[in-house]
Structure 1
Amino acid sequence: MAGLLIGIEEHWVHEGIDRAQRALPADRRDDSLVLNDHGDAARRLGDIGSERLAAMDAQGVDMQVLSLAPPGTQGLDAAEAVALSRDANDEVAAAVAAHPDRFRAFATLPLADPHAAAVELERAAALGLVGVMLHGRTGDVLIDDPRFEELWTVAEQLRQPVFIHPQIPPRAVRDASYTGLGGLPDLALATFSWGWHLEAGTAALRLMARGVLDRHPSLQLVIGHWGELLLFWHDRADGLARAAGLERSITEYLRENVWITASGMLDPAMLRHALSITTPDRLLFSTDHPFQQPTREEIAAFLTALPDQQARDAFASGNARRLFGLAG
């Protein structure tokens, strides 16, 4: 496998945030936290040093863009979220400074306090962080709520891409649609097998429907898992754009404001479909560390599914360098 390889959805865990999330009362706690404990995930998530670098070397990954594993600070009270977001951003910035040729990082924001989130994004950008990862909901407030307008303004002005990551559906939705199969199957249905992806895709779709990308036409979004189903339903979703009186169709937003990453799902069929909707210069490589662990050989084989060397280089690193302003 020749050329630089940059993974842009590569997770870590901040000890203070993890402890605060697990200390929440049962009715506020994110049940998907148990997935961070599966197998060796907890140990791998906690390392942003030598063990991670060794795993990257084994895969042939030259650089990771680090991002906090879900649920981040979302669901925490505002004051705690503000303090812990600052701590997490300082810690990950230090990891980047220690290994500047191997790491970059997304900011963590305290969305429970929308103004503080915008301020922290400015601070994080000054630290050298290259974007932000967030989820579609904090408590009962969706990210398309007007109170986040300042955040989108700052993200656009600072050219900070916004990665919308999946999160577990609200408890009322889970009770209505994701229960009855049994403990672990219920959780799987609500998270990695289905619910996570509907939540992330819906969050992105709602941002478009609210006109956020009309008011901030330079704002760039990143969506994982081959577009969180939106690439498969774009034509029907265009009807929402017409109903909402948007300036462009959903398909146009997907092609002009959205970048798609594989999230470790190295499936040539997914790639072919993505390329039928968007273009090679909008696709990004990622392994979804440590939840997916593709081997060097699997990564190399997948890259051959791209149509030509230019598309392979763009997917492997060129698009990430352009989106995140990475040198080299």
Structure 2
Amino acid sequence: MKLIGIEEHFLTKEVSSAWRAIGLEARDPSVAYHGGQMERRLLDLADERLALMDESELDVQVLSLTTPALHDLAPESVELAQRVNDAIAAAVVRHPTRFQALATLPVALPDEAAEELERCVRTLGFKGTMLCGRVGDRNLEDPAFAPIFQSAEALGAPVLLHPRTPDKAVRTAYYSGFAPMVDASFATYGLGWHYDAGIQFIRLVLSGTFDRLPGLQVILGHWGELVLFYAERLAAMDRVSELAHPVAHYLRNNLYVTASGMFLPHYMERAASIVGTDCLLFSTDFPYQYRHGRDARLFLDNCGLDEPATAAFAFANWMRLTGA
């Protein structure tokens, strides 16, 4: 059975240099996570990556620029995004049966980002895009970012909402008071990243984004970034939200959920009960969640779904979503 991982990351030396040039590591501790072996694996788009894919029996990686992508870069990000996307398009051409791609966008410049998304989908054959939460002090439902989401809906291109580090004021209030490394991990991969990504999706819902753009499809990693586990509480807002539909409607009609290497059948069962098995997507969150051996394939073989639903999870839902 074909196995497609839809949240598999890369980095380029140029992007890493651009982060360092603006001192981003001082504001976003996750930048420091991209060193050593992790950096080597992120930078590699050839032999080592393919070998690790073979080891885990993953047939296809859908490549996306790792967090925080270009969200903190402004004027220079347009040409930088173009160069990144052209480089990834070349990697896909070299390995067309192994790689697909999500567009890297200059999100601080939404009109240009919308144009780049269209170029990536129509000209380069990319499958969608990935956004990493807040841009400066603006959340993604800010009207300024409407051109990106309008373009995504018009193109039929899904938007993966990836975690990024919460704002410093939030980290200080909720994720500080321990040793520096504990504070950083608590605010990022321990918990903060995932609340942040889930909140971005709920803000899109509450702002009426999906009422205005009913065809827009969003993907959340890590089995829904905590959102699905509080679906019943979110539904309580129906009496005050003044949306066109109950919150449950948007969870079922505008949201896909992916594993991100969290190979936990009971999490998948919860996700399926909310969004349906036709909206489950496979991913390993390479290289962050990478484990040696056949973990990816073993999870697929033992996930508890029947054969048609397993095939949908493994590859068919992604192919239907992206028209592949």
- 1:80 pairs with one of 73, 76, 83: 76
Contact 1:89/1:124, CA 8 A, preserved across alignment: yes
**Structure 2 counterparts to residues 1-328 of structure 1, below 5 A:** 3-25=1-23, 29-37=27-35, 40-76=37-73, 78-125=74-121, 126-303=123-300, 304-326=302-324
After superposition, give the CA deviation of every residue in 1:308-328 in whole Å (9 maximum; x if it has no partner). Answer: 1111111111111111222xx
- In structure 2, list runs of 5 or more residues that go unmatched: none
For residues 63 and 51 of structure 1, the distance between their equivalents in structure 2, rounded to whole angstroms, comes to 14
Contact 2:58/2:297, CA 8 A, preserved across alignment: no
Q: Structure 1 122/212 Cα, relative in aligned 2: closer, same or farther at 3 Å?
A: same
* 1:25 to partner: Cα distance: 3.3
* 1:73 to partner: Cα distance: 0.3
For residues 239 and 83 of structure 1, the distance between their equivalents in structure 2, rounded to whole angstroms, comes to 44
For residues 133 and 126 of structure 2, the distance between their equivalents in structure 1, rounded to whole angstroms, comes to 21
1:10 aligns to what SS in structure 2? strand
Contact 2:25/2:31, CA 8 A, preserved across alignment: no
For residues 106 and 162 of structure 2, the distance between their equivalents in structure 1, rounded to whole angstroms, comes to 15
After superposition, give the CA deviation of every residue in 1:6-59 in whole Å (9 maximum; x if it has no partner). Answer: 00000000211111112213686422111122x511100000111111111111
* 1:269 to partner: Cα distance: 1.6
* TM-score between the two structures when normalised by the length of structure 1: 0.95
* 1:296 to partner: Cα distance: 4.8
Task: Give the AA of the match of 1:202.
Answer: I
* 1:240 to partner: Cα distance: 3.0
For residues 148 and 299 of structure 1, the distance between their equivalents in structure 2, rounded to whole angstroms, comes to 35
Task: Give the AA of the match of 2:219.
Answer: V
For residues 26 and 59 of structure 1, the distance between their equivalents in structure 2, rounded to whole angstroms, comes to 33
For residues 210 and 304 of structure 2, the distance between their equivalents in structure 1, rounded to whole angstroms, comes to 29
Percent identity, please: 45
Q: Structure 1 241/21 Cα, relative in aligned 2: closer, same or farther at 3 Å?
A: farther
CA RMSD of aligned residues (A): 1.4
* 1:153 to partner: Cα distance: 1.3
For residues 174 and 29 of structure 1, the distance between their equivalents in structure 2, rounded to whole angstroms, comes to 11
Q: Which stretch shows the higher mean deviation, 300-309 or 16-25?
A: 300-309
* 1:297 to partner: Cα distance: 3.2
Task: Give the AA of the match of 2:191.
Answer: W
Task: Give the AA of the match of 2:5.
Answer: G
Task: Give the AA of the match of 1:103.
Answer: F
For residues 191 and 152 of structure 2, the distance between their equivalents in structure 1, rounded to whole angstroms, comes to 29
Q: Structure 1 26/124 Cα, relative in aligned 2: closer, same or farther at 3 Å?
A: closer
Task: Give the AA of the match of 1:79.
Answer: P
For residues 140 and 285 of structure 2, the distance between their equivalents in structure 1, rounded to whole angstroms, comes to 23
1:121 aligns to what SS in structure 2? helix
Task: Give the AA of the match of 2:188.
Answer: T
